[in-house]
Amino acid sequence: MFQLSSPILSNECLHGAYHRLTIDLGELAQAARPGQFVQVQIPQLEGHILRRPFSICDVDGTVMTLVYKTVGVGTAALADVRPGTALDILGPLGHGFAELPDDRPCVLLGGGYGCAAMLFCAHWAVAHGKPAPLVLLGARSQADILLEEDFRHLGCQVGISTDDGSYGMPGRITVLLQSALKRQPNAWMAACGPKPMLKAVANLAEQFPDSACQVSLDEIMCCGVGACFGCVIKCKALDTPQGWCYKRSCADGPVFNGSEIDWDG
């Protein structure tokens, strides 16, 4: 884990509330693995708010890309930060996704800004000589579909669904996933997005016993390094008297096996 302060290279609006930020982070960027995240200190708000966590969206050499949606005070302030301003970043944090296997089909699922973590996964796989995975992107509306061209550029086949039918297949991402699993029931899946989506993906994966499913949770975090227990989630633990335990989303995750989470806990 590193703590670095480095000037922002670019910070541009992708569309609507979505922004893409690049920053040269040297050894921090080189140590990053798909599924990990960084904690960003928002300039001018150091005394007011905690660091904010963002998935690592991509790494090219020592340059890290983050993609973020403005939802509140921290991300709104981040969107106003000009290139050249120094950003204090802690990372890489958490446990990322397992390596994509060579011997089975891989499906990456991104819901909303959850596709940020998936781009690094796809890029990593292709850069390490693996076939470009199938990518499924789901969102409420066309305006919330991100990075489609970046995935296609890597050679990925991309399936899209929107809840309101404004782009791609109308409906939920799990409809696309069900078709993929019927064709390839031993698929290895990695998913990042809102919790209800991850729960639906994990439940669907359980119907295909030869499949494997990892999910990356975006729980609200405080310290981000395992010290405060502010981000715990309930997990199944058959070796405990009560049959469950709490795990820290930041330090034990954010990536978990879909089957280990108590989704109703």
Ligand X SMILES: Cc1cc2nc3c(=O)[nH]c(=O)nc-3n(C[C@H](O)[C@H](O)[C@H](O)COP(=O)(O)OP(=O)(O)OC[C@H]3O[C@@H](n4cnc5c(N)ncnc54)[C@H](O)[C@@H]3O)c2cc1C
The answer to the question of residue 221 lying near ligand FES (CB under 6 A) is: yes
Among 113, 120, 208, 256, binds ligand X (CB under 6 A): 113
Provide the minimum distance between the beta carbon of 254 and ligand X in the complex, in angstroms, as a whole number: 4
Q: Which CA distances in Å does 146 have to 104, 153, 188, 209?
A: 26, 13, 22, 31
Residue 108 CA to residue 122 CA, distance in Å, equals: 8
Q: Is the peptide bond before 92 cis (omega within 30 degrees of 0)?
A: yes
Which residue's CB is nearer to ligand X, number 69 or number 140? 69
Q: Which two tokens stand for residue 133?
A: 């995975």
Residue 177 CA to residue 162 CA, distance in Å, equals: 13
**Residue 229 binds which of ligand X, ligand FES, none (CB < 5-8 A, kind-dependent):** ligand FES
Residue 18 CA to residue 16 CA, distance in Å, equals: 6
The answer to the question of residue 75 lying near ligand X (CB under 6 A) is: yes
Q: Look-up: residue for tokens 């011997």?
A: 103
Which residue's CB is nearer to ligand X, number 60 or number 210? 60
Other C-beta atoms within 10 Å of 45: how many?
16
Among 17, 226, 234, 262, binds ligand FES (CB under 6 A): 226
Measured at the CA of 195, the angle between CA 113 and CA 96, to 5 degrees, comes to 65
Q: For residue 257, with 0-12 CB atoms within 10 Å meaning exposed, 13-18 middle and 19 or more buried, which class applies?
A: middle
Helix axes 195-206, 173-183, angle to 10 degrees: 20
Which residue's CB is nearer to ligand X, number 32 or number 187? 32
Which residue's CB is nearer to ligand X, number 147 or number 180? 147
Provide the minimum distance between the beta carbon of 166 and ligand FES in the complex, in angstroms, as a whole number: 35
The amino acid occupying position 164 is: D
Confirm if 132 and 126 have CB atoms less than 8 A apart. yes
Q: Which CA distances in Å does 106 have to 14, 52, 132, 147, 236?
A: 27, 30, 8, 18, 25
Which residue's CB is nearer to ligand X, number 177 or number 223? 223
**Region of 152-160, 185-193, 206-214, 217-225 interacting with ligand FES (CB under 6 A):** 217-225
**Residue 257 binds which of ligand FES, ligand X, none (CB < 5-8 A, kind-dependent):** none
The answer to the question of residue 218 lying near ligand X (CB under 6 A) is: yes
The answer to the question of residue 255 lying near ligand FES (CB under 6 A) is: no
Position with the least CB separation from ligand X: 72
10-49 binders of ligand X (CB under 6 A) = 37, 49
The answer to the question of residue 188 lying near ligand X (CB under 6 A) is: no
Provide the minimum distance between the beta carbon of 121 and ligand X in the complex, in angstroms, as a whole number: 13
**Region of 69-77, 85-93, 130-138, 247-255 interacting with ligand FES (CB under 6 A):** 247-255
Query: For binding to ligand FES (CB under 6 A), which residues are involved?
Result: 221-224, 226-231, 248-250
Query: For binding to ligand X (CB under 6 A), which residues are involved?
Result: 37, 49, 52-55, 67-69, 71-75, 113, 116, 218-221, 254
